[in-house]
DNA sequence: ACCGTCATGTAATCGGTTACATGATTCT
DNA sequence: AGAATCATGTAACCGATTACATGACGGT
């Protein structure tokens, strides 16, 4: 008797990058890797950046596993266009429904230097500058989002704004 | 005529993990991978965590490139012990001296879900809980550091504490 | 025509993670 | 004595980054 179970198309680990792709494709309805690149750069990229090459490999992986549908255009470039499948949609929404258990790390190169004894006077000014620039960018985008129905991105930006303000305060006090 | 330049022992990219190892080894004077694991878990790990397996491979890489000296003990376990070389020290301190240009990303799984439309009511409570726990841990460690000469770690913790407070505020307001 | 930048994609490499393994201690 | 946890290490895999390439298009 054969006890092997039915294996789904492919077993793969879903990483944050996977969910980013799934999320963007669902939002867009249909997208080529290059579209994804532009969407990501203008939105999630601020929170969680992705290399453009991965926006080619990751959708392919997801398609092979049945989360996305892949369609190749016939003409010249033969671009690939992706759309989300029912399975993909289910996976995405159940990910959204369960609370995130993992905690984020700071992973700030500036802080790392500080940890190992870098001179605060030396690095603080640049850090202030960096975070202020980020803050300004966030606020600009946030303003552009007012009145739209993009609630998620708007809220996320607000979190980012608070984070930048906190860091600016920290480095200011140091300098 | 031969134009090849003198090549250093090995060309390798120094990643944050490299500097963490260099920094810890310099601080400790001498350390085995297992030592590094313990040091990291108790200190930098809060800011930038590292898998323990990498604390075996990374020192080996660094040693091959001349940043660390590797010594194998003769007895039973034949453990490897690392210490920093002059080259390693130079590299570390010049890294410390130049300001960090790259900016840190939030990379918070909770925020990522929020971005893609997760229900705030659903995830906010857990996020508050997570960040409060982190905050408490940081404050405990910070208290234990008072009066020591570990300036870098102390300052870093203060940054972490501010960051946690900012996030707690954000998620509280959401809920 | 030429040059630079944007558009679009593939290939190769490697850092980092996960999985696997086994000896030593401590606890019950 | 057996179980559980700590100590210590290697192997394999793979996601992510870097490098490489070429076509289209707008400006000079």
Residues of chain B positioned with their CB less than 8 A from the CB of A127: 99-100
How many angstroms separate the CA atoms of A153 and A169, rounded?
Answer: 24
Residues 6+ apart with CB under 8 A from B163: A106, A163, A166, A167
Task: State the best of B45, B47, B104 to mutate against chain A, taking most chain A CBs within 10 Å.
Answer: B104
Which of A96, A116, A117 faces B117 most closely, judged by CB atoms?
A96
* Contact residues on chain A for B127, CB-CB shorter than 8 A: 99-100
Which residue, among A15, A128, A173, A32, has the nearest Cα to B100 in the 3D structure? A128
In chain A, which residues have their Cβ closer than 8 Å to the Cβ of B16? 107, 109, 112
pTM, full prediction: 0.91
pLDDT, tens digit only, all 175 positions of chain B = 333 333 344 567 899 999 999 999 999 999 999 999 999 999 999 999 999 999 999 999 999 999 999 988 665 567 889 999 999 999 999 999 999 988 899 999 999 999 999 999 999 999 999 999 999 999 999 999 999 999 999 999 999 999 999 999 999 999 8
User: Is strand C within 7 Å of residue B109 (CB)?
Assistant: no
Does A40 or A103 have the greater pLDDT score? A40
C-beta atoms of B111 and A159 within 8 A: yes
- B160 torsion bin: left (phi>0), alpha (psi -120 to 50), beta (else): alpha
Residues 74-93 of B with CB under 7 A from strand C: 76
C-alpha radius of gyration, chain A, whole number: 20
DSSP 8-state assignment for residue B2? -
Per CB-CB distance under 8 Å, the chain B contacts of A105 are: 46-49, 107
- pLDDT at res. A77: 63
Cβ distance of B97 and A163 shorter than 8 Å = no
Check residue A10 and give its pLDDT: 52
Average the pLDDT over A80-101 and give the result: 95
Chain B nearest CA to A33, separation (Å): 19
Assess whether pLDDT exceeds 80 at residue A8. no
Residue-by-residue DSSP string for B39-61: HHHHTGGGTS---TTHHHHHHHH
Ramachandran bin of A48, using left for φ above 0, alpha for ψ from -120 to 50, beta for the remaining angles: beta
Please tell me the predicted confidence (pLDDT) of residue B120: 97
Rounded to a whole number of angstroms, the distance from the CA of B72 to the nearest CA of chain A is 27
Name the closest residue on chain B to residue A108, using Cα atoms.
B104
Whole-angstrom CA distances from A166 to A89, A122, A135, A160, B169 are: 36, 20, 11, 10, 11
Contacts of B77 (CB under 8 A, 6+ apart): none
Strands (DSSP E) found in B98-139 = none
Q: How many beta-carbon pairs below 8 A join chains A and B? A: 191
pLDDT in tens, A22-79: 999 999 999 999 999 999 999 999 999 999 999 999 999 999 999 999 988 665 567 8
Nucleic strand D under 7 Å from the C-beta of B79: yes
Half-sphere exposure of B83 (CA within 13 A, CB side): 6
| CB within 8 Å: B163 and A97 | no
What chain A residue is nearest to B96 in terms of C-alpha separation?
Answer: A118
Residues 61-120 of A with CB under 7 A from strand D: 61, 76
Report whether pLDDT(A97) > 90. Answer: yes
Using pLDDT thresholds of 50, 70 and 90, give the confidence band for residue A143: very high
Closest-lying nucleotide for A32 based on CA to C1': C8
Q: Which residues of B touch A101 (CB under 8 A)?
A: 126, 130
pLDDT value of residue A12: 80
Give per-residue pLDDT as tens, A106-141: 999 999 999 999 999 999 999 999 999 999 999 999
């Amino acid at each position: 008797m054969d006890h092997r179970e039915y294996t789904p198309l492919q077993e793969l680990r879903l990483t944050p990058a996977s969910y980013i792709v799934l999320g963007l494709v669902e939002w867009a309805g249909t997208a080529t890797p290059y579209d994804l690149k532009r969407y990501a750069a203008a939105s999630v990229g601020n929170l969680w950046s992705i290399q453009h090459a991965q926006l080619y490999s990751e959708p392919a992986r997801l398609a092979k596993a049945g989360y996305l549908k892949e369609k190749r255009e016939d003409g010249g470039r033969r671009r690939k266009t992706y759309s989300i499948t029912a399975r993909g949609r289910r996976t995405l929404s159940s990910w959204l429904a369960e609370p995130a258990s993992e905690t984020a790390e700071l992973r700030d190169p500036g802080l790392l230097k500080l940890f190992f004894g870098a001179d605060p006077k030396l690095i603080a000014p640049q850090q202030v500058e960096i975070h202020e620039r980020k803050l300004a960018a966030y606020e600009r985008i946030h303003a552009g989002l007012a009145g739209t129905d993009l609630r998620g991105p708007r809220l996320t930006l607000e979190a980012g704004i608070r984070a930048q303000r906190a860091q600016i305060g920290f480095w200011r006090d140091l300098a």
